[in-house]
Structure 1
Amino acid sequence: MTEKQGIILVNLGTPSEATPAGVRAFLQAFLMDKRVVGIPHLLWWPILNGIVLPLRCKRVADAYQKIWLEQGSPLLVYSQQQQKALQALLGETAVVELAMTYGQPSLQDAWARLKAQSITRVLLLPMYPQYSSTTSASVSDAWFQIIAKEHQVPAYTFIDQHYRHASYISALADSIRREGFLTHPDDLLLFSFHGIPEQYALRGDPYPQQCQETAKLVAEVLGLSANQWHLSFQSRFGKQKWIGPYTDTLLRELPAQGNRRIYVVCPAFSVDCLETLEEIAVAGKETFMHAGGSFFRYIPALNAAPQYIQTLAALCQQWLSSGLN
């Protein structure tokens, strides 16, 4: 009897609608995750619900409205495209499901759909090329909560990063070339990764080093010298110190340093979302141009680009053929 196998692509999540109520429901779940905010819940809950959410929800909802697609949230739409493309590439060798750590479609529901098909072997593939305790580890936590309730625990594998995979690096480099980078001698490439609090890195989170290696590998493929690219971190939240340099600060400083033409790529994001389409492509561009920049181009995330889907398929095929849990 052939063993049925399932693959779950897992991303962070998104509000169900671009409204303060939709944003509040999403942020409440996201920011109550101990992996994301390490403050004890008894202290953090009143701060989150009494100060943070009332101040942030309308502003974040307004930002979502700028990028919302006819089909819904960009993160969900592009993630669904990834799921369909990967399923088409793998054919009947495995069932591909999509899940979010926070919001819908939930990881619990994705597993329920696989379980209903008598799936006995599962691959969990977080859609974060670089590992972080704030992202990949949260997927692991959520999965363990689900299987803790099962009498028959499925065999499962967890692929927590793929930042060094050659075809992923190649796909990034190709996407940068396609957008026209290096068509002008003064072009500068900025790798902007999502940030994490500095204390997480000091405690051993390998994310900063993996981001640096990602950028270095892509720069090598593109044949860039050290002065043709920079690395920075975006999306910091709260008053604590985050890993740097900060993207918004760098965008204000670069024109005065003679870098007036810039391309920005965000390799930590497998699909385009609020942090890329609004924070970088809209607000980041405005910051850079107001500081004296003359040219700004955001390079879209890989989304469902064929080469990236082939990267995901290669990871899945290795697992499928290994026979290992």
Structure 2
Amino acid sequence: MLDTAKHAVRPEHAPSDHPAIPAAKVGVLLANLGTPDATDYWSMRRYLNEFLSDKRVIDYPAWKWQPLLQLIILTKRPFTSGAAYRSIWNTEKDESPLMTITKDQTAAMTAAMAERYGDQVMVDFCMRYGNPSTKSVVRKMVEAGCQKILFVPLYPQQAGATSATANDQFFRALMEEKWQPAARTIPAYFDHPLYIDALAQSVERAYAAMDSQPDILVCSYHGMPKRYLLEGDPYHCQCQKNTRLLKERLGWADDKIVTTFQSVFGTEEWLRPYTVEHVAELAKQGKKKIAVIAPAFSADCIETLEEINEEIKESFEHAGGEEFTYIPCLNDDAAHIKALMAVVEDNLKGWLD
């Protein structure tokens, strides 16, 4: 952690009683979805309430959605979600894997930025839902002297329910600052050559460790209502392009890779094909050995460690599938950090020498 008192100085020509001010620096704020603080009922309820009350996530009118959420969903779902989180919880550190991995990513980015820029840059992370909150980390960065902040949602593809809501929260935090820093946000980076290369390397490593090759690679992206696509959200198109770029980088034929969508919620139609159904169909078609990767997630979390590696795997095996391999997210892999550094440096141009 940065010692702001150590770096604070009295401005030149200021009177002797003028308070010390931290040296100006640039902040790089990484942001991820979020995590409950614990797996008990009330911790899960607080987290789910914040998440499912976000209009970017569930855009139904409040009069219609909130009674259903508060009286029915939040009465039952904290128990099932808590059990799911307990199955993957990092008991050694008493935190979710997403928290552990995001801390590791932040440490790697801090080291890389320090090597490149010395003490000109402060790197930290926040969560859209839960802790550390976006507001608290923006406040910390401002207090540390960050007069410019680059906000980096860790979502390769742009979507209203991910990067857009993270940006919303960042700007809300800025609204409360009297000395407001200059601010930038990054665009989607799903097509950045270094990101595609990092994904491809992870697939190549996984395949090289197998005795025989999978029949197909399933690229499973987080789903969203189909209606969002029709309303102009670019996420679906960017997911499709992400898969195509990965296929081209690997040099594969079209029938060796497929795009699917997971985590369906509610009754309306979501983006198809649904991963949990499609893997079962693949097994019935005779594709008995598959691998699954999740390019929409920068860090392993409940949707990958529990949903993919348990629920989706079970669907495949019950339909006659024989070998299921989950390829982990890029997490703090060196190639991933290199890609994120390239994205960050592209967006810091003009702010740092």
TM-score by length of 2: 0.89
What is residue 210 of structure 1 aligned with on the other side?
A: 238
Distance 1:322 1:197 in 2: 39
Q: Render the CA deviation track for 1:171-218: whole Å, top value 9, x for unaligned.
A: 000001111268635531000000011111110000000000111101
Give the aligned partner of residue 289 of structure 1.
317
Question: Pick from 111, 128, 151: which aligns with 1:124?
Answer: 151
Q: Which runs of 4+ in 1 moved over 6 A?
A: none
Pairing partner for 2:98 from 47, 51, 75: 75
- C-alpha distance in 2, partners of 1:256/1:315? 41
Residue 160 of structure 2 aligns to a residue whose secondary structure is coil
Q: Is the 8 A contact 1:126 1:160 kept in 2?
A: no
Q: How far apart, CA to CA, are the structure 1 residues paired with 2:173 and 2:214?
A: 52
For the Cα contact (< 8 Å) 1:256–1:292, is it kept in 2? yes
Query: Pick from 269, 280, 296: which aligns with 1:241?
Result: 269
State whether structure 2 residue 273 is matched by structure 1 residue 252: no
Secondary structure at the counterpart of residue 136 of structure 2: helix
Is the contact made by 2:186 and 2:347 (CA closer than 8 Å) also made in structure 1? Answer: no
Find the counterpart in structure 1 of residue 293 from structure 2: 265
Q: Which amino acid aligns with 1:8?
A: L
- Indicate if the aligned counterparts of 1:5 and 1:93 stay in contact, CA closer than 8 A: yes
* Residue of structure 2 equivalent to 1:111: 138
Report the CA distance between 1:275 and its aligned residue: 0.3
Aligned to 1:41: 62
SS of residue paired to 2:60 = coil
**Contact 2:214–2:291 (8 Å) recurs in 1:** no
Partner of 1:155: 182
Cα offset, 1:48, TM superposition: 0.2
Q: For 1:274-305, what per-residue CA distance to the aligned partner results, in whole angstroms no more than 9, with x for missing partners?
A: 00000001121111111101110000000000
* Residue 22 (str. 1) matches residue 49 (str. 2): no
Unaligned runs of 5+ residues in structure 1 are: none
Distance 2:235 2:261 in 1: 11
SS at match of 1:180: helix
Contact 2:29 2:151 in 1 (8 A): yes
- Report the count of equivalent residues: 324
- Paired residue for 1:166, among 175, 189, 193? 193
CA contact (8 A) 1:195 1:242 kept: yes
Is the contact between residue 130 and residue 268 of structure 1 (CA under 8 Å) also seen in structure 2?
Answer: yes
List per-residue Cα deviations over 1:137-164 (Å, max 9, x = no partner): 1012112211222233211110131101
1:188–1:112: structure 2 CA closer, same or farther, 3 Å change rule?
same
Q: Give RMSD over aligned pairs.
A: 1.5
Aligned to 2:83: 62
Match 1:193 to one of 193, 197, 221 = 221
Q: Distance between the aligned counterparts of 2:167 and 2:345, measured in 1?
A: 21
CA–CA distance in 1 between the matches of 2:73 and 2:225? 17
- Answer whether contact 1:11 1:101 (CA < 8 A) is retained: yes
CA distance in 2, matches of 1:159, 1:176: 26
Name the residue aligned to 1:222. Answer: 250
The corresponding residue for 2:345 is 317
Shift of 1:317: 1.9
User: How big is the shift at 1:268?
Assistant: 0.4
| Identical-pair percentage | 39
Specify the alignment match of 2:3 in structure 1.
Answer: none
Separation (CA, whole Å) in 2 of partners of 1:251 and 1:288: 5
Alpha carbons 2:138, 2:174 under 8 Å: kept: no
Corresponding residue SS for 2:245:
helix
TM-score, normalised to structure 1, is 0.96
Quote the Cα distance in structure 2 between the aligned partners of 1:259 and 1:268: 24
- State the Cα deviation string for residues 8-57 of structure 1 (Å, max 9, x = none): 00001011112222211111000000000001122211110111112211
| Aligned match for 1:90, one of 113, 120, 126 | 113
Compared with structure 1, are the counterparts of its residues 121 and 186 closer, same or farther at alpha carbon in structure 2 (3 Å cutoff)? closer
Q: Give the equivalent residue in structure 2 for 1:133.
A: 160
Match of 2:161, SS state, is coil
Runs of 5+ consecutive residues of structure 2 not aligned to the other structure = 1-10, 12-22
Mapped to 2, the partners of 1:85 and 1:52 lie a distance apart of 38
Supply the AA of the counterpart residue of 2:298: S
Larger Rg: 2
